[in-house]
Structure 1
Amino acid sequence: MNAFFTRKSIIVVALGMSLAPLAGCWDRTEVNDLALVMATGIDKKDDKTIELSVQIFVPRASGGGGGGGVMGGGGGGGMAQTLVRSEEGSTIADAMSKLQEKLPRKIFWGHGEVFVIGEKMAREGIREHVDFLLRDPEPRIRADMLVSKGEAKEVMELLPPLERSSAESLREMVKTRIGIKTTANDLAQMLAGESGAAALPWVEILPPESEKKGKQTDPYITGTAVFKKDKMVGRMDDKVTRGLLWVRNEIKSATVTIEPQEAEGYVSVRMRNSTTELIPGMNDEKWTMTVRIDSKYDLVQNTTNLSSVNPKLMKEIQNELNESVENNVRLALDRGQQELKTDIFGFADAFHRKYPKSWNKSKERWDEIFPKVEVNVEVNSKILRPGMSTEGAVRPKNKVKKK
């Protein structure tokens, strides 16, 4: 009997000892042991080497009223809250392992929300590097992808006056949706799509104010970098990018200003929402695409003597608004079809969905077909509200044209 209880006690104690480690965080990694990556820059050095630059967050206590406070941006008078470390390698993984050897903390990629690709690398091809971002479990596939004029490392080293880092500056700019937004996952899907074309935000660096040092300035998004078969083939400026966003149904924010023919002055409207539909057509080997845009606006400024409540006058303004939007769309279509010859509009996917059999027979000739696709643009704009003032806000009523 005693032997039975002794054996049972031994088993219970053994089980208890084996379960004890599971009750605590015995394998946890303390935050103080991590190097938190905020942004990553990827540059091409030579035919066999890349340079990986990481922007690492430096945790500091918030200062009071003294000069050591760092509540402002990286260059806002206090100490910088980021540091940049770079290393070269044959691949991103190779450069990353070399970089880890020079840092006292474990590199943690989970907070990285921005990847910036240098212009030279973008022009020579990015497919193999996108493969790493999707294959390795640590980088975030929802991180924003951008292309910089010059080297990406220069963007990493900036000390913005307003934000804590250039990573935060770029992230906030992307959130405004005034330009195109492309995540790592979006980029992979574009490159693997029917056309193999992709579009990424184009980043440049603002000249610093005269009294500040060269690094104390902001990066900013100005247009779009266009990729064909994973290589950058050109770019679009802000105005052309606006037309691109209309076609891709990605326009989220827009203020359009027109000059009515009926009166002197300008009328500005702000978009409330917009929907774009791509309608492909095929007849006797003739490929056509109808881009149908339906948008709704609020009138936000009227410097003319036109009444904002007269239906006839509003109809005329809406017609001119349609023409303005169509002109922007045509600029983007001409740039994409005739100059870059790159389908960043999603036409290939639209044809594939509607005409799968014909598409499978012709997809190998898409680069030849795409520039010849006849595109019809239909824009339907509607002004919903005239704003807080129905008549001229600062104009006498007898000076307002109501008919």
Structure 2
Amino acid sequence: MTPDRLAQLTALRHSLHQHPELSGQERETAARMADELRRAGADTVLTDLGGHGVAAVFDSGTTGPIVAIRCELDGLPINELSDLPYVSTVPGKGHLCGHDGHMSMVFGVALALQEQRPTRGRVVLIFQPAEETGQGAKAVRDDPQFAHLAPDFVFSLHNLPGLELGEVELCQGPTNCASRGMRIALTGKTSHAAAPQDGVSPAGALSALIPELTRLGTAGALNADYALTTITHASLGEQTFGVAPGQAELWVTLRTVSDDRMAKLIADSEALVQQVAKSENLSAEITYEDVFEACTNNAEAVTILAEACADQAVPCKLTNEPQRFSEDFGQFGKSAKSAMFWLGAGQDHPQLHNPDYDFPDELIPIGTGVFLAAIRQVLG
């Protein structure tokens, strides 16, 4: 990558960093990337894909495989703590997961394709909305426009603090855990604090469920039986001294390596909630949010990425241990051969979603180069 091209992509990254938008609200970010992709010579630019998603098609004009590269549009509802000159200008919102950097790398692919079209088949660049909530990838795949893209391969990356800067880690098989947020609402009956016996308090059920649900998922080795339950929020009654509570709410994150193990963890958790609620004469309502299915890399797609790293002289470590955090990228694996790789952000780099996190600009040419090499592996 030339210094001028790197400067162009870095400037784009910094500008995107200053204007983060949350999941499902990425209207301006999507409009900007659509305009940039048109100027980069994309043959077709689709918008409003699964919400605010954008897809750019670079067509060789001849028959061949279809390769898609995916990145994410959304930021996070976290206030950035930084003295960088390009710090977020939106209070309470920040690109603190690196999606600004991911977009810049994929746009770097667009600029390279503008100069040299694929020799056969098509390349599709997908700028996906709502990754942070787990809703975006499914919405993109369910959009009728996606049927016209129909990729054979889909590749993606995520930067990873804790991994050496510029080093790649590539999972063979499961690569991200399934997870979902379980919201438990317990309802009894309020009463005067002087006569709690005349009400039905959920306090006992709440205090019982916290340790019992935790015992259902105690983590352990990242194998097929891995399960983790994390209590993230609890509330009981109102902030008053005069009322014995009648309502409680408990939030729990369920996490497993496989979707089958998740189904069992859900069943066990729901049965426990209903059992405890019944014993305390309460009603219980369970709802789910932030649902992520497990993400598994395709073997052929992994081989292509490994060869792409070798082509670019990028250190690549193959592993059988998935990441504990979740990704909705696995949705693309339902209709294509897909694989995601981790690109090291530095061993001592601030963690993803930290208020002082910032994407390392040094990764831009590395990620772009690996994506272009993977495209060449498939299309020539």
Normalising by structure 1, report the TM-score. 0.24
Looking at both structures, which has the greater relative contact order when contacts are Cα pairs under 8 Å and sequence separation is at least 6? Answer: 2
Q: Which is higher, the Rg of structure 1 or of structure 2?
A: 1
